[in-house]
Amino acid sequence: MTSKYFTCPKCHENTPFKSMATDRVELERDKGEKLRVACDHCYEQMTVHVNDIKAAPNKVIAGIGVAAGVAATAALWHLGFVAWIAGALPVIIYGAQRKAADTFNSYSIRRSE
């Protein structure tokens, strides 16, 4: 699951948008084509299109991946090569997050107007 956000057209800051959707088709089905949102920074209320929602690697999941990788590396250190595989865990998890974000961002839905 990736983090979603939109960029405020007024102050150009990013505001997180809570959604479990893996692509914009799912997001539209879930929340509709137009989304009523409020900017976290200037508090402006606005309507954004599904295509304006972007995905980014989830920092929490990436963080858990790093923590798990470090813990597993430490726990498996005496096994040598296995520790190296465990050390690659954060890279693999971040890579999967990056890929999921790219998948989301690469597909835009057809605008109805």
How far apart CA 10 and CA 42 sit, in angstroms, is 8
Q: CB of residue 7 vs Zn ion: minimum separation in angstroms?
A: 9
Q: State how far the Cα of 53 lies from the Cα of 15, in Å rounded to an integer.
A: 10
Query: Considering the complex, what minimum distance in angstroms separates the CB of residue 14 from Zn ion?
Result: 9
**What residue ranges in 19-85 does DSSP mark as E strands?**
34-38, 45-49, 54-56
Does the footprint of Zn ion cover residue 8 (CB under 5 A)? yes
Range 29-68, binding Zn ion (CB under 5 A): 39, 41-42, 44
Q: Which is nearer to Zn ion, 6 or 94 (CB)?
A: 6
Asked if 10 is part of the footprint of Zn ion (rule: CB under 5 A), the reply reads yes
Binding site for Zn ion (CB under 5 A): 8, 10-11, 39, 41-42, 44
